[in-house]
A = this chain, B = another copy of it.
Amino acid sequence: MQNVTLWGETLRLLVELSATAAFALSGILEGARKRLDAVGVVVVGFLAAFGGGTLRDLLLDQRPFFWVQHVGLLWGVLALCVLAMLFLRTRHFEVTERAIQWPDALGLGLFTASGVHQALLLDLPGLVAVLMGLVTGVAGGVMRDVVCNDIPSAFRGHRPYTVCAFAGGWAYVGLWSAQAPGWLALVACVSITAGLRGLALWRDWQLPQWRL
């Protein structure tokens, strides 16, 4: 049994690290495309990777921030930025973007679950908990795009992203209220979010457009 828990923890850590890397890479690519200088690329990478979780902790008044507890994460993303600047060329951009779609979808689910979880621990209502999950999963990308002077792709892409996290978040809230074990809620939230996101990409689902 202990072995299973250990495996679970290791798996979770792996997903978390690869998701953080995927989020950071999305920022690095965006910064490079906008022809920012080295500092700008690093900052946008950091915003994409840590912005959402930081805003959640700020709203929930949680200290220390997760990146203060795990300073290694900061060093890791810094190293990733340097490596990307040394080795990533324009011709790699498209490949990288496709390669990070899966870790990104898994990360969206995991980050959403972590936001919902923290809010539920503070006895906040279901809708607020889901909102905190969305903030954790999506706000980093929004900051990335705002700083790069774009309308956030999450709001304009017409491809379900936030909506998948919304569904996953409610799954977490529902299972938590039903007092299901924590790992079950986590797995449900991640698999629903990432599953829906995968389906949306595969079947090219579109959000309903505003009928003007």
- Residue numbers of A with Cβ under 8 A of B are 31-32, 34-41, 43-44, 54, 58-59, 61, 63-65, 67-68, 71, 74-75, 85, 89-90, 124-125, 127-128, 131, 142, 146-152, 154-158, 160-163, 207-212
Contacts and interface: CB of A to CB of B under 8 A. Distances in A.
Contacts of A58: 58-59
A21 B37 CA distance: 27
Contacts of A128: 67-68, 71, 74
Given A58-B59, A63-B61, A32 B210 contact: yes
Contacts of A211: 89
A151 B154 contact: no
Contacts of A127: 71, 74-75
10 contacts: A36-B155, A38-B209, A39-B161, A43-B155, A43-B162, A61-B63, A68-B124, A89-B211, A146-B147, A148-B151
5 smallest A-B Cβ distances: which pairs?
A: A40-B155, A37-B207, A37-B158, A90-B212, A39-B162
Nearest to A162: B39
A147 to B, nearest CB: 6
B149 A149 contact: yes
Contacts of A161: 39
Given A74-B128, A128-B68, A37 B147 contact: no
B156 A37 contact: yes
